Amino acid sequence: MVQLRSYLGGQWVAGSGSPQTLLNPATEEPLATASSDGLDLRGALEHARTKGGPALRALTFAERGARLKAMADALQAERDRLLELGIANGGNTRSDAKFDVDGAIGTLLEYSQIGNALGSKKFLVDGEGIQLGRSARFHGQHIAVPRHGVAVHVNAFNFPAWGFAEKAAVALLAGMPVLSKPATSSAMVAHRIMEVLAGKKILPEGALSLLVGGAGELVSLLGAQDVLAFTGSGDTGARIRSARNVIEYSVRMNVEADSLNAALLGPDVEPRSDMYELFLKDVVRDMTQKAGQKCTAIRRVLVPQTLLSSVKEDLIELLSTVKVGDPADEDVRMGPLATASQLSDAREGVARLGGKLAFGSLSPFPHKGFFTTPVLVESPGEAVHEHEVFGPVASLLPYSENPAQLVARGNGGLVSSLYSEDQGFIEQVVMDIAPHHGRVFLGHPKVELSPGPGTVLPQLVHGGPGRAGGGEELGGARGLAFYMQRVALEGSRPVIQKLTG
Amino acid sequence: MVQLRSYLGGQWVAGSGSPQTLLNPATEEPLATASSDGLDLRGALEHARTKGGPALRALTFAERGARLKAMADALQAERDRLLELGIANGGNTRSDAKFDVDGAIGTLLEYSQIGNALGSKKFLVDGEGIQLGRSARFHGQHIAVPRHGVAVHVNAFNFPAWGFAEKAAVALLAGMPVLSKPATSSAMVAHRIMEVLAGKKILPEGALSLLVGGAGELVSLLGAQDVLAFTGSGDTGARIRSARNVIEYSVRMNVEADSLNAALLGPDVEPRSDMYELFLKDVVRDMTQKAGQKCTAIRRVLVPQTLLSSVKEDLIELLSTVKVGDPADEDVRMGPLATASQLSDAREGVARLGGKLAFGSLSPFPHKGFFTTPVLVESPGEAVHEHEVFGPVASLLPYSENPAQLVARGNGGLVSSLYSEDQGFIEQVVMDIAPHHGRVFLGHPKVELSPGPGTVLPQLVHGGPGRAGGGEELGGARGLAFYMQRVALEGSRPVIQKLTG
């Protein structure tokens, strides 16, 4: 069986101790082992800070962007193998695996283009120069420079390729070295990506490291110039955020955690209309794609009371056509959950929601694998606004008035979506729900090839307040700010203008 | 004796229990009492959220800006009384008190102008619209909307007027209601400001509240839409940041804490040159203004080894002319520290720095009041890079090479300053120290009326990484972001363009 190693300090290293076994979640067949016990994390971070950081900062944005392009090309060349690993180790259908891998490649390409556009600078000039006194000589100019630490990325199990790439692309373009830690259970994809990138020596030494296995003392080793971007559960996020050194040294953190994303059908929408069909399609896609294991998936389906029975009936009909099984079979539309504990968490979560099952069942499957059916809950309890069930599970919620208030009860989310053609209703709802979200998706049947609310695009910010962790990633060049320090230069205009070029 | 009340829920309310007594720090004469025991903080926050928030959000930026202008005018009309209170309750010289009060008025005016420039919008449009698909119809646009909570401001004792105004101006312009808590020991200035503003009914009901006395359970009552801006010690900042609800609900926090600001004299500077004299003047001003009780004050004075004895001699000569005493006397140049505990902390801090005193003494004064001389330390120990002494205290540090590395040992600061005319040296040092700071001040003798590094200007960001708390305030319109939620709108272009106007 393959023993996955970590790439730290510019070399492949193996942990000692008893390893974790990575499985095929459809068959429970062991595929690989991983351990990070005994690895020199302090040395790895220092190598990234002292070798990778200066090397990246010596490059222009365009040069860093060119490295991202080379990374995208390398992943493209390895695409088939990465899809296979996603299917085997992630429980992904081929379509799910493409969503992950192609998302990774697309994000690298997008940031490569941003680098190209930023050109020959090595730091950002932020806004216009400012006259500070009566005379034009007293001058201010904000700039943003790469931080001198290491960017630690702790990723979730559900997007081993995209999660790696969307964080790494932004950090590397900003000029910070990356130490990426994939979730262990699905680490084979990220591990293969690291093998490819290290083999081709696309990045300067120390610019990219990969820790496979437990995080150990990693977080406790971070200091004032380091940053930590975490995607995962709210509980783990809270634990990291409470770490003594994180608080004492103001380690800059970005957390992307739980979210009870809502899809809201407007009262103006007629059954069978194009808008209605789009709404159904988006709900079913979000429930079943990656077996609902997307932080952006629709969890709460808000429909006018008058449309409740119609929507319920139609969703049941659509969900009943979804074939669940081993994603290695081509006609399977939904694979298993990623691990046994994800499956038991999802089952417990459905029980916690209360109400009853309009579709699906919690019964174990009569064969191996971490399978569940899609589950549509009706008449759930208050937990529907408080507890994220990370699986193919959504709840139907009827409303008669003020649906925005219902959406806001999620207490902060990544994305909610609105399906309506009543501009007045749209404006009212958007303004009411916007402060609670990082993104608001407005469904419209005339938008061709719309990916729906569940797809994160590199051009738009991803993150959300409150329960969602209070973070923000991506958003084009906006994402760079997290990895840079904004600093005001104050003094004599000619001196500052020479400095900023 | 005056009993200071709080302005909460739209009315003046008095705490019960045993109050804290506010003193004149030059005479130790009791001036007022304050207590917040038993006040309904939960009700006050809810009043701000439900009355103040909607009322502010209904105003355009220009209308909010007009309220800030009216606030500035009201403070200007009350200026003499505010200066008197600053002198009596803050230990300020008249010049110190002007620095505080005029800084408050200037910041309100600056944000009033920003509001005017933002005009008739009620939310911000962030960046250009983005084509997301092959067709132009699939469109993205970022906007920033006011958060639906309350902005809680916890201010430090040293700037009761400016600290109140610089935070309130930005929050109110963004569209968030404010609950401001001044440090109790010097609260008479902020209390008088609230009396004036409430009396003139400049702001909508619930838009501005003042809590005088201890913060009690205030922090524990904050939720996902609230924000908390704190200025004060790193220890208190860490305690607030660790609060369970702050972590669980991702309460957005801005911390501005300790900072070991450096002033760096370049090796090219000749004694007696204009640059040299400017450097001395800035160091002495920062050591003595407000008796060194400024978060931006120079704490570490870095000079080339070859210039050490010259700089030391000249600083001693300048410091020996500073008359210390009751700031009610017009010829006094430096008043007392703010409280007995500030004085004992400063004395302990000097002992902790190690080394020896090149100027000044730790001996008690032979009369009442919390007085100390200015203190110039030479040959300090490692604590000089770790411990901020919040008083008229600075340390001399010679360097022979790589002064930027010495500056960086402060592990994150608000501002450092550089005095050199060697452009190559300036560029090298600025790029090396920039990631560790929120502002870099470049001294130049040809900049007339330069306020020096210790003055925070509303046009430039204020804050710093690491030890300084990792925060950012002001910076013109940049400051609004903290009080707003950035959200990406994604969907059909005509729908979004109608929404954003």
Using CA coordinates, name the residue in chain A closest to B496: A442
The count of other CB atoms within 10 Å of the CB of residue A119 is 11
A447 → closest Cβ in B138, B247, B251: B138
B147 touches chain A (CB under 8 A): yes
B445 touches chain A (CB under 8 A): no
Is-same-fold flag (B2-257+472-500; B262-458)? no
A19 touches chain B (CB under 8 A): no
pLDDT recorded at residue A185? 96
Annotate B462-476 with b (16+ C-beta within 10 A) or e (fewer). Answer: bbbbbbbbbbbbbbb
pLDDT recorded at residue B336? 98
pLDDT recorded at residue B235? 87
> Closest Cα to residue A148, out of B407, B253, B396?
B407
pLDDT recorded at residue A448? 83
Distance CA B182, CA B222 (A): 18
Give start and end residues of each alpha helix (H) in A249-363.
274-288, 308-319, 340-353
| 8 A C-beta contact, residue A388 and residue A259 | yes
Using CA coordinates, name the residue in chain B closest to A386: B249
pLDDT tens-digit map of B42-78: 999 999 999 999 999 999 999 999 999 999 999 999 9
**B38-57 residues touching A, CB cutoff 8 A:** none
Q: What single letter denotes the amino acid at residue B350?
A: V
Is the confidence at residue B17, as pLDDT, over 90? no
pLDDT tens-digit map of B165-198: 999 999 999 999 999 999 999 999 999 999 999 9
B460 touches chain A (CB under 8 A): yes
Q: Which two tokens stand for residue B28?
A: 């130790």
Q: Residue B82 to residues B7, B110, B128, B236, B330: CA-CA distances in angstroms?
A: 18, 20, 45, 28, 17
pLDDT tens-digit map of B416-460: 999 999 999 999 999 999 999 999 999 999 998 889 999 999 999
Host H or E run for residue A424 = helix A423-433
Instruction: Please state the rounded mean pLDDT for residues B304-326.
Output: 97
CB contact (8 A) between residue B446 and residue A492: yes
User: What pTM was computed for the model?
Assistant: 0.97
Q: Is A295 a catalytic residue?
A: yes
Burial of B448 (0-12, 13-18, 19+ CB in 10 A): exposed
The count of other CB atoms within 10 Å of the CB of residue B126 is 18
CB contact (8 A) between residue A438 and residue B140: no
Query: How close is the nearest chain B Cα to the Cα of A365, in Å?
Result: 36
Q: What are the extents of the domains in chain B?
A: 2-257+472-500, 262-458
Pairs of CB atoms within 8 A across A/B: 263
Distance CA A64, CA A70 (A): 10
Distance CA A62, CA A284 (A): 41
Q: Tokens 């020596």 sit at which residue?
A: A201
B440 touches chain A (CB under 8 A): yes
A113 touches chain B (CB under 8 A): no
Residues in chain A: 501
> Closest Cα to residue B346, out of B308, B416, B415, B293?
B293
The beta-strand segments (E) located in B97-150 are: 124-131, 138-146
Is the confidence at residue B211, as pLDDT, over 90? yes
CB contact (8 A) between residue A438 and residue B250: no
| 8 A C-beta contact, residue A309 and residue A398 | no
Mean pLDDT score across all residues of chain B: 97
Looking at residue A391, what DSSP letter applies?
S
Task: With a threshold of 0.85, tell me whether the complex ipTM lies above it.
Answer: yes
Biggest CA-to-CA distance, chain A: 81
Backbone angles phi, psi at B15, to 5 degrees: -75, 160
CB contact (8 A) between residue A442 and residue B490: yes
CA quadruple A464, A470, A473, A479: dihedral sign = positive
Residue in B110, B166, B256, B472 annotated catalytic: B256
Q: Is B295 a catalytic residue?
A: yes
B438 → closest Cβ in A130, A241, A487: A487
Give start and end residues of each alpha helix (H) in A119-216.
160-174, 188-200
A446 touches chain B (CB under 8 A): yes
> Closest Cα to residue B35, out of B59, B65, B4?
B4
CB contact (8 A) between residue A140 and residue B225: no
| 8 A C-beta contact, residue A414 and residue A439 | yes
Using CA coordinates, name the residue in chain B closest to A438: B487
Q: Which two tokens stand for residue B369?
A: 């009041």
| 8 A C-beta contact, residue A134 and residue A119 | no
Distance CA A474, CA A171 (A): 10
Tell me which architecture the domain covering A2-257+472-500 has in CATH: 3-Layer(aba) Sandwich (3.40)
Residues of B in contact with A500 (CB under 8 A): none
Strand partners, B34: B4, B20
CB contact (8 A) between residue A242 and residue B238: no
Burial of A444 (0-12, 13-18, 19+ CB in 10 A): buried
| 8 A C-beta contact, residue A489 and residue B430 | yes
| 8 A C-beta contact, residue A329 and residue A369 | no
Residues of chain A with pLDDT under 50: none
B446: Cβ contacts below 8 Å, ≥ 6 apart: A137, A492
Strand partners, A128: none
Query: How close is the nearest chain B Cα to the Cα of A248, in Å?
Result: 6
Residues of B in contact with A440 (CB under 8 A): 487-490
| 8 A C-beta contact, residue B171 and residue B156 | no
A311: Cβ contacts below 8 Å, ≥ 6 apart: A265, A280, A301, A303, A396
Query: How close is the nearest chain B Cα to the Cα of A427, in Å?
Result: 6
Distance CA B454, CA B287 (A): 10
Query: How close is the nearest chain A Cα to the Cα of B479, in Å?
Result: 12
What strands lie across the sheet with B484-492, from one edge to the other?
A356-359, A375-378, A393-399, A300-304, A262-265, A413-419, A437-443, B484-492, B138-146, B124-131
Q: Which of A249, A447, A483 to mutate to test the interface with B (most CBs of B within 10 A)?
A: A447
**B361-420 residues touching A, CB cutoff 8 A:** 408, 411-412
Host H or E run for residue A31 = strand A29-34
CATH assignment of B262-458, among 3.40.50.300, 3.40.309.10, 3.50.50.60, 3.20.20.80: 3.40.309.10
| Helices and strands per DSSP (H, E), number in chain B | 15, 22
pLDDT band (50, 70, 90) for residue B234: confident
Q: Tokens 């010690």 sit at which residue?
A: B233
Q: Which of A486, A493, A498 to mutate to test the interface with B (most CBs of B within 10 A)?
A: A486
> Closest Cα to residue B258, out of B474, B458, B415?
B415
